[in-house]
Structure 1
Amino acid sequence: MDKRPQKIRGMFGRISKRYDLMNRLISLGLDTMWRRFLIKMAQLPDSGAVLDAGAGTGDIAIEIKKRNPVLKVIAADLTYEMITVGKKRKAGDEIEWCQADALKLPFPDARFDAVTSGFLARNVPDMALMFREQLRVLKPGGRLVCLDTSPVPDNIFKPFVLLYYRLLIPLVGSLISGERDAYRYLPESTIKFIMPDELVMILEGAGLTDVKYRKFMFGNIAVHWGKRPCN
């Protein structure tokens, strides 16, 4: 699949205005629960700074800021249009926004107490590099938490999930956003993504320790977390 930054940026730019609505619909409203679990696993400090990479319109970043107003929260995303939508959201002006490539973050080493991302990993051309960058800007002892989709597991729900991904999502996406191609890419990128255990190996290869994950929605969603070693 074509995951060049200019391709991804253009696609998300076109769907930015309806992105939040489509997320609620596609996930049947469960995405808010997954994000709350991600934030819980981040073990946020009482003060300091947090980076939400691939922040989109700021779902995770805004929720973090609501939970801890003292924290400095930076939302970084490749797509200007997504940032523009995020800034207009309630509490969107209480976080800092930065247009940035997840493969080359514009932050100094050991800048953040925690780094989060939601639905980012499967949209970059080099996951290992992305996680190394996140680890670089993470303070020793800090947590990195990643939420993303997982390939459809082999169970009794698989035929129905595949039907949902390949037929219903593109149809609804076309009706609501007018972008059928974008909503063909999103389910296909899920189907062709790596399994949770493989993602554990990539995270460990990037340098994270104590890597664990939890699956949701019959195994179609996974939240991974780990920490940067203190030495």
Structure 2
Amino acid sequence: MTTDRTQDGKGSDVHGIFQKIAGYYDRMNFVMTLGRHEKWCREVAARVAPARGGQLLDLATGTGVIALEAARRYPTVTVTGADFSAEMLRRAKAKPGADAVRWQHADATDLPFEDESFDGITEGYLLRNVADLPAVLREQHRVLKPGGRVVILETCPPSGLVEPVVKWGMRVIVPLLGQVVARDRKSYTYLESSTRAFETPQSIAVVLRGLGFRDIGWRKKFFGTNVILWATKAN
């Protein structure tokens, strides 16, 4: 989640949702993934593998799960956690180990960093919430050093034999969990619908390749509803 990522209605609406759900964001991620979310975040941090003494950017840092794991895993690396939600950042800063991360309010469509500033970029659930996905990935390509890797945790539209069952579960259960756990059915109805409507990993790979990334791969998670993608900026 990274100030308004866009200046249009969607950017404003999404910003409002993430400001609102910050207090129960970690709890809902745990419940919706049956406890798998933190494991996926650890895998994202492990896959980015920035150079020793380098710079790592965690976009859509939210409550800082990936950024904090990266700071623990790579003690010689400077980790910057960036998000558009001041409330998310406030909660990230209150977590144990938060002093090891540089927290920054930032717009994913117009990053406040110089070209080729980072040895690696991670992100969690950013792309489905932006109006211009190629523009956001273009910004990441700009600030990433040649040979640096981007690792993305995202939702994924289900497919295959389980697709009807999974879609039904997402449509019914996710908003219900939002009502029961967070007392906020509306926000999680949006999050469920954005998951079902989002791009496939193959589509994101096409955009990454067109921007100059190589060695692109992905691994689906949790009945195909989440995915970890990775790519390397060409030298």
TM-score class normalised by the smaller sequence: over 0.9
In the other structure, the counterpart of 2:92 is: 86
**Please, what TM-score do these two structures have when normalized by structure 1?**
0.95
Indicate yes or no: 2:204 matched with 1:188: no
CA contact (8 A) 1:196 1:222 kept: yes
Query: CA–CA distance in 2 between the matches of 1:18 and 1:161?
Result: 24
In the other structure, the counterpart of 2:224 is: 219
Q: Secondary structure of 2:185's match?
A: coil
What RMSD, in angstroms, separates the aligned Cα atoms of the two structures? 1.3
CA contact (8 A) 2:166 2:223 kept: no
* CA displacement, residues 150-198 of structure 1 (integer Å, 9 cap, x when unaligned): 101121x223322321111111112222221110011110100111111
Amino acid corresponding to residue 184 of structure 2 in structure 1 = E
In the other structure, the counterpart of 1:57 is: 63
Decide whether aligned partners of structure 1 residues 3 and 141 sit closer, same or farther in structure 2, where only a CA change above 3 A counts. Answer: farther
Query: CA–CA distance in 2 between the matches of 1:174 and 1:205?
Result: 41
**Please, what TM-score do these two structures have when normalized by structure 2?**
0.93
Indicate yes or no: 2:170 matched with 1:165: yes
CA contact (8 A) 2:216 2:229 kept: yes
Alignment of 1:35-74 (within 5 A): 35-74=41-80
In the other structure, the counterpart of 2:4 is: none
Structure 2: tracts of 5 or more residues without a match: 1-7
Q: Secondary structure of 2:223's match?
A: helix
Query: CA–CA distance in 2 between the matches of 1:182 and 1:203?
Result: 29
% identical aligned pairs: 37
1:44 Cα deviation from its structure 2 partner: 2.3
State which drifts further: 41-50 or 116-125. Answer: 41-50
1:199 Cα deviation from its structure 2 partner: 1.0
In the other structure, the counterpart of 1:12 is: 18
Q: Secondary structure of 1:225's match?
A: strand
Indicate yes or no: 2:204 matched with 1:199: yes
1:37 Cα deviation from its structure 2 partner: 1.8
Amino acid corresponding to residue 63 of structure 1 in structure 2 = E
1:3 Cα deviation from its structure 2 partner: 6.5
Query: CA–CA distance in 2 between the matches of 1:210 and 1:42?
Result: 13
Amino acid corresponding to residue 192 of structure 1 in structure 2 = A
Q: Secondary structure of 1:181's match?
A: helix
Aligned length: 228
Q: Secondary structure of 2:104's match?
A: strand
Structure 1: tracts of 5 or more residues without a match: none
Q: Secondary structure of 2:89's match?
A: helix
